[in-house]
Amino acid sequence: MAETVSPQPRAVDETPEKPSYASISNPSTYTKKFDGKLPLKLKPVIYVHGEPTVSFNFLDLESYNQEENLEYALIDKFFYGRPDIIDLRKSFTRHFAIKGDCNLGLLDHVLVRLSNQENFVEVYSRAVSFITIKEKGVNNQYQCQIQRWTPWFNPKEETSIALAWISFPSLSTQMFAREALFSLASAVGTPLQVDKVTTGKSRPSVARVKVEVNLLSSLLDRVRIFFKDEKNGVVKEVLQKIVYDKLPSYCTTCKHQGHKEEECRLDMEVEGGLIDETKINGAKFEGDLRSIFDEKKKVLSLQQTGKEVTLPTSSNSEKNSVERVDEPGPLLVVATSRNKEDTKTMLPGTLTSKISEQLGTTTTS
C-alpha cells in the first residue's frame, strides 16, 4: 500500500490559532510556539501498510535527551527489595556525595538524572553499592547496582554498556596530556576520566583512562599512532598496546552482565538438547533472573547414584522428586510430582546438578 499523509493534529499546549490549509496539507512545515519557547515542529504521521507511523532520527533522540535531562542518566537497580522512593531520595545524595541537582524517579528500577559529568562519573564508577536507609529507627542496607541508562532501556535486561579502565603501557610521556589520552581512548569507547596517578605524573610508565565500552563490540588490543612532522613530512609510526582492567562479561542469552553464554544457567546445552531452566513441570519463574539465581545459593551434586532430592516450584508448594536411575546404558533423570501427568524424563545428572543451583534443592537420603 502506498504511503499517504494524514492531517496532523495539534500538540498539547499549542496556541488555539487556526492553522492554514497549507500547513495542514504539509505537516512537516507546521510549526507553532508553545510557552514562549522555540517553535515546535511536529513530525508527519504517515500510513505504511495501513499502520500510522512517525519517524525519528538519532539527532532527534540526542535533542530529546538534552531536553529531558537524560545526558547524565543512570539506572539504580536494587536486589532483594527496594527502599521507599521518598527515603531513597533523602539518602542517595548523601551516600554518593552528590554536588548539584539530582532527580530520582521510578522506572521499574530507579532512574537517576544527574546534572553534571563529575557526579555522573562518581556515581557510575561505584558499580555495586550498599545504601543505608533509616526505616522506623532501624538502619537497613539495600544492595544496588548502577548501570548506564540508554534509550533502549528494558527493565528485564541489563545494558551491554559498561565502564572499564584501559591502560596504555610504555606510552610516550608527552602523550599523557588529557587531549592525547582521550583521543587514543576514543578508539575503544567513550572516555570519561583519567586516573589520579596519571594526572599526578607519578607513574610515567603507564597511563590509565576510564572509558565506556560496548561489551558486544570487538575490543581493540592496540591502536596505531602517527607522528607527522609538518615541516619535512617525516612520519613516525607507533603501535600502542591497549590493556583492559577487569572487563565484565556479557551474556546474550539472558541479557545480563557478569558471565558468558557458555556459563549461562538459562540456556544449558546437554547432549545436544536445550533445557529451559525457567520452566520445570510447567512452573515458570517470574522476575529478574539475577535475583532468582542469587537467592538460590544451595548447590546439589547428583554425582552419586541412588540419591533422591526435593525440587521446590516457584508457583506452589507441591514437591517434585528427582531420582537418578543407575541402569546400563545412558543415565536418565525422572522427574515426578503428585500429578502423574506432570511426570517427565529429563537428561542426566550433569544437567540436574545445574538446575538445582537455581531451584535451591535439598538432599534427602
pLDDT beyond 80 at 281: no
pLDDT over threshold 50, residue 324: no
Tell me what the pLDDT averaged over the chain comes to.
74
Min mean pLDDT across 115-119, 170-174, 184-188, 302-306 is at 302-306
pLDDT tens per residue across span 11-42:
444 445 555 555 544 544 444 444 556 678 89
Query: CATH classification of 69-148 is 3.40.50, yes or no?
Result: no
Provide the percentage of residues in the chain whose pLDDT is more than 90: 45
- 76, 110 contact by CB (below 8 A): yes
**How distant, in Å, are the alpha carbons of 9, 29, 41, 43, 47 from that of 52?**
13, 19, 18, 12, 4
CB 207 within 8 A of CB 175: yes
**Domain residue extents for the chain:** 4-55, 69-148, 161-245, 270-364
Q: Is the model's pLDDT at 181 over the cut of 90? A: yes
At residue 269, the pLDDT reads 47
18: which 3 cell numbers?
487556526
pLDDT score at 267: 63
CA 307 centroid distance within chain: 40
For the chain, give me the number of helices (H) and strands (E)?
Answer: 8, 27
Concatenated DSSP letters for 243-284? EEESPPPEETTTTEESS-GGG-SSEEEETTEEEETTEETTEE
Higher pLDDT, 255 or 326: 255
Q: DSSP state, 235? A: E
Residue 183: its pLDDT value, please? 96
5 pLDDT exceeds 70? no
Grid coordinates of 236: 613516525
pLDDT of residue 19: 53
